[in-house]
A and B are shown apart, each in its own frame.
Chain A
Amino acid sequence: MIAGAGVAGCTGGPDGGSESASGGTTGTASSADTVKIGVLEDQSGNFALVGDPKHKASMLAIQEINNNGGIGGREIEPVTRDPQSDNQRYQELTRDFINEEDVDVLWAGYSSATREAIRPIINRNEQLYFYTTQYEGGVCDSTTFACGPTARQQLGSVLPYLREEFGPEIYTIAADYNFGQLSADWVRVLADENDAEVVGEEFIPLSESSFGSVINNIQDADPDFVMSMLVGANHTSFYEQKASAGLEVPIGTSTAMAQGYEHRRLDPPAMANIYAGVNYMEEVPTESNTGDGGFADRYYEKYPDAPYLNEEAETNYFTTYMYKQAVEQAGTIEQPEVIEALESGISLGTERAPEAPEGETIELDGATHHVDHHMWVLRADQEHNIEEITNRKIPEQFLSETVGCDLREEDEQTQYTPRDYFEEAE
C-alpha cells in the first residue's frame, strides 16, 4: 500500500522499516561507520506516479547492500523526505540535506525543471549528485552524474528503426518546456542523420488535455510516423483520444509507457503500435530482469503492491551500486575522492544492471558523467503486450563526441544544447 509514505512526508527512513532502522545506528548524526545517502523523490503531487518507483528502487538497492555487509563494511543510512513535486520544496530540502544532514551523496528530482532548480545549490556546495531520469542531455557538470539515457540515446534507438520500417516523414509532438523543446531539436538532428524529414512540429502546454486539433493536424500532415515527447498526466489523454479518433499512424516515443506505464493503465488498444526507445522497462527480456529472482522479482517481493517498475527506477537502482563500487575503489566516502573513482570509469555487469543482456555490461563514462546504456526498442501490440524489436548499446555521444566535454580535465557546470552545434536544430 502506498498509504503511509505519501502522507507522512517528513519522516526519514525507508518505508517498510528495513535493516537500517533496527541495525544499531541511533540518532541522526552521521557517524564514521555509516554512509549517508540522501534520496529526494516525489511521493505526492504531479510526479508521484513516476517518482515513487524511483524512491522504492533506491530503497531496494540500499536494503540489498546493507544485507550484504554495506559499502566497504559501512552500513548505509538513507535519509529521505517527500519533495511533493514542488521545485521550491526541492530547493529547501536540498539545502537541508547538504547543510544539516550532511549527506555523502544525493539522488534527487524527476523533471529537468527540478534538476535545473537545484543544480545551483549542488554546484555551490560541490555536492556529489546523481540525476537519474531520462532527459534531454547535455549537462556537463563536475559533481553531477546524469545517468539516465539522453534524448540522443533514446530517440537514436527508436527513430532510425521507424525510418527504415515506415518511411521518411516525421511529425513531432512534444511538451512545451525545456525537455520537450530540446527533444524536438534532437528529432530534427536525428532526422537529418537518418535521411528523414520533420514535416510538422507542435508543442503542447502541460495543462492541455484536449487533443482534437492536434489529431487533425497530424491527419492533415499525413506523416509516415509520429515522434511523441508528451509528458505528464494531462498529456496521457492523447493516446486514448487518438485511438478513439481512429488515428492509426505508428508512434515513436521516449516518454510513454516506460515511465508512466500507460500500457497498463489505459484500455487496449490505446497504446497499440507505439514504439518506445528506452534503456529499461519492467518487461525488458533479460535474464537478470525477468528471470527467477531477478530485479523485477526482488522489487515486487519488497513492494508486493507496487503498480509498476519503471525506467527511472532501474537507473536509481544501478547508480546506487555504481556509487558503492566507487566508494570501495576510493577507500573513503570523501566526495572528491569518490568522484575521482567514478571518473575512472565504473562498469556493471548484468547482475546489477538489469537492462544489459547476458554477458554484457553498462559503463559510466568518466569524462562526461553519463552512462553508455543498452537501449531497447519495445512495442505494444493490440492487447498491450510488450514485445522486443531491437536492442543495442548506444553510448552518450553529444557531450563526448560533439561538445568535447571532459570533466576529468576541466571543471564545468554547463548544460549544452543541440542548437549550439547543429544547424538543423535551430
Chain B
Amino acid sequence: MVNGLNLAFQFLDSFAFIVLAAAGLAIIFGIMGVINLAHGEFILMGAYGTTLAVTKLGLPLPVAMGVGALVTAGFGLIVERTIISGFVPNWLGQRTIGRDLIDPLYDRLADSMVATFGLSLIMVQGARILFGNSIETVATPLGNVAYGEFSYSTYRVVLAGVSIAILVAVYYLFTRTDYGMRARATIQDEDTAKALGVDTERIYMTTFAVGSGLAGLTGALFAPVLSMQPTLGDQFLVEAFVAVVVGGPSVVLGTALSGGALGLVNATVTNLLDSTTFGRIGLLVVAILALRFLPEGITGFIERIRARRQEGE
C-alpha cells in the first residue's frame, strides 16, 4: 500500500542525504578537478568535531556544528597548501635545495586520487588512534512528526530544508559575489585570469577550503543521527560520487537535479517494494543509465539542448 506522506518524507530524507553527501565534493571535484577520495574523512572530521564540541566542551548543538564545519574548512586549507597545491613543500624545497618538490594536483585526476586516498587512510587510522574505535553519540534533537499510525523524525525533514538552503547559498556565492566571479574565471582559463590580475593561488586555496567546509558541515549535520566511528565517511562516498557525476558540470543545478532524481528513484523503489536493498539497486541502475545516455550528466545534457536550440534560431 502506498502511503503518500510516507513517500514524501522518505523522498525528502533521501534527497537531503544525497545533496549533502555531494555538496563539498561537487565543488572540489566539479570546480577544481580534484577527485577527493578523502571526502568521506572530511565528513568524518565535521562529525567528530561537532560531537566532541558537544560532549567535551559542552557547547550547544548548533554552535558545535559551526565548530565542526570550521575545523574541517581549516583542515582543508592545510591540505590544500601542503598536498594539493604543494605550496608548503615547494617553499621548503626552494629554501633548502633550490627547486620545487611537487607539481600541483589540480586537473591531474588520477594523481589526485592516489594522494587523497593515502590521506583518507591516514585520517581513518588517525581518528582510531586518537579517539578509539568509537566516541559517544549525541541524541537527535527535535522529536518527531506523527501522522496516523506513522511518524518521522523531524530532524530528518529539517535536513531537507537545510540542504536546499546550502544549495542556494553556494549558488549565490559562485554567481553573485566577486570571489565567485574570480573563481569561475580561474577555473575556465587560469592564465587569462592571472593576466587580468586575479590571484589564482588564493582562489584555489579558498575554494578548496569552502568545499572542505561544506563536507565538514555535512558531517556536522549528520552527527546526531549516525554512529560515531572512524569509518563513518564511507557511507557517503557512493551517493556523493554518483550525484556529482550524474549532475554534470553545473555544480549547484547539477547537484540539485541529481539529488532530486536519484532521491526520487531511491525513495519510490524502496517504498513500493518495501526494501532498502531494491531502493539502492534502483539508484545505481539509474546512475548507470544516466552515464550511458547522458555522459556529460544532466546539466551537460541541458547545455547541449540549449546550444542546439540557439543554433536553430
Which residues of A approach B to under 8 Å, CB–CB?
A: 2-3, 6-7, 44-46, 48-49, 52, 176, 200, 202-205, 207-210, 212-217, 219-220, 222, 233-234, 236-237, 240-241, 243-247, 260, 262, 264-268, 270, 307
Contacts and interface: CB of A to CB of B under 8 A. Distances in A.
Nearest to A269: B139
Contacts of A48: 128, 133
Contacts of A262: 227
Contact of A267 (B138, B156, B275): B138
B13 A237 contact: no
B75 to A, nearest CB: 21
Interface stretch (B96-104, B203-211, B230-238, B304-312): B230-238
Given A212-B10, A219-B151, A220-B149, A233 B125 contact: no
A204 B276 CA distance: 6
A7 B129 contact: yes
B10 A207 contact: no
Contacts of A6: 125, 128-129
A245 B149 CA distance: 12
A217 B228 contact: no
| 5 pairs of A and B residues whose beta carbons are closest in the complex | A236-B227, A267-B139, A244-B140, A49-B133, A246-B144
B267 interface: yes
Contact of B225 (A2, A237, A246, A307): A237
Given A237-B227, A240-B140, A245-B144, A44 B280 contact: no
A212 B280 contact: no
A241 B140 contact: yes
A76 to B, nearest CB: 26
A213 B271 contact: yes
Contacts of B125: 6-7, 44
Which of B136, B155, B226 has the most C-beta atoms of chain A within 10 angstroms of its own C-beta?
B226
B274 interface: yes
Given A220-B3, A220-B150, A266 B137 contact: yes
A217 B135 CA distance: 30
- How many chain B residues sit at the interface, stated as a range, is 35 or more
B17 A210 contact: yes
Given A7-B125, A46-B231, A212 B151 contact: no
Interface string B212-243: 00000000000011111101101100100000
A266 to B, nearest CB: 5
B227 A216 contact: no
Given A2-B129, A2-B132, A265 B228 contact: yes
Contacts of B146: 246
Given A208-B276, A246-B146, A233 B231 contact: yes
Given A203-B277, A233-B232, A244-B225, A265 B153 contact: no
Contacts of B228: 265
A234 B226 CA distance: 7
Given A216-B10, A233-B229, A307-B133, A202 B276 contact: yes
Nearest to B281: A205
B171 interface: no
A1 to B, nearest CB: 8
Nearest to B132: A2
A46 to B, nearest CB: 6
B144 A44 contact: no
Nearest to A305: B132
